[in-house]
Amino acid sequence: MIDSHTHLDACEPPDDQLVRVAAAAGVARILTVGTDPDSCRAALAAAERFPSVYAAVGCHPNNPEQLDERLLRELAAHPRCVAVGETGLDYYRDRAPRELQLRAFEAQIELARELDRPLVIHTREAAHDTLAMLKRDAAGLRVILHCFSMAEHVRECVEAGWWISFAGNVTYPSATELAAAVALVPAERLLVETDAPYLAPQSRRGKPNEPAAVVETARFVAALRGVEVAELEQTLERNAAELFGW
């Protein structure tokens, strides 16, 4: 099993405990994601320390003013960094001017192209602009739609050839449209994640999430797709290995 998107530094338990508990649950690979300079450094430090952990480094759309392109390029070139992001657009929180978000998004698209890294996308209440920018500027890149929330655009995303990653919120009883979207994603473009410490799956909803909980989300996704959990695990592990090169 893999957790294709988590934030170890934001979780309350220490990294060694999170990794140990995840391994006991069958999680063999974890991608921990930086969203600003400090968390990017923390992600790389965790990836250096634990063989099962890899890093993605980026500048979150909620804080585009923290983008230091020279520093991010240096961090992204680290051998344990396997992706750029998360980056994208967030009009729900709307904590940053949209022109700054767009500028930071564009810069990280170009960095992913320069370094030949997959691009991890965060988008919230910004589907139109996110899709337009990806289609315009990210052609040929390996794009991962993290914590997929654009159920109404799933066919469009599939046609674009992007990877689609489902988080714990797909297990919520109210997430019927998101659950329906699971069946429309080709097996070779499917991922699951925790986004820990956020978006815990239904059984632990309201509590902090952690990488081990990705197993619950995967079981839910397997049931939606009508496949055995073991088959889905093999698919997810293969997809992540091909995408991230680990």
Please report which confidence band the pLDDT of residue 93 belongs to, taking 50, 70 and 90 as the band edges: confident
The total domain count for the chain is 1
Domain that holds residue 54: 2-244
User: Average pLDDT, stretch 180-198?
Assistant: 98
According to DSSP, the residues that pair with 100 across neighbouring strands are none
Please report which confidence band the pLDDT of residue 23 belongs to, taking 50, 70 and 90 as the band edges. Answer: very high
How confident is the model at residue 36, as a pLDDT?
A: 98
Model confidence pLDDT, tens digit, residues 64-76: 999 999 999 999 9
pTM of the prediction? 0.97
Residues 6 or more apart from 221 whose CB is under 8 A from it? 166, 170, 182, 190, 192, 232
For residue 68, the tally of other CB atoms under 10 A from its CB is: 12
- Say what percent of the chain tops pLDDT 70: 100
pLDDT (0 to 100) of residue 95? 80
Task: Please say if the pLDDT value at position 190 is more than 90.
Answer: yes
- How would residue 30 be classed by pLDDT, with cut points 50, 70 and 90? very high
Q: What is the mean pLDDT of residues 194-221?
A: 97
Long-range contacts formed by 61-64: CB under 8 A, 24+ apart: 61/87, 61/88, 61/89, 61/90, 61/96, 61/101, 61/104, 61/105, 61/122, 62/35, 62/90, 62/93, 62/95, 62/96, 63/35, 63/36, 63/95, 63/96, 64/96, 64/100, 64/101, 64/103, 64/104, 64/105
Question: How far is it, in rounded angstroms, from Cα 127 to Cα 133?
Answer: 10
- Residue 94 has what pLDDT? 73
Write the DSSP symbol of residue 140.
Answer: T
* First and final C-alpha spacing in the chain: 13
For 126-142, what is each residue's pLDDT tens digit?
999 999 999 999 999 99
What does the mean pLDDT of the chain come to?
97
Residue type, 51: P
**CATH number of the domain encompassing residue 51:** 3.20.20.140
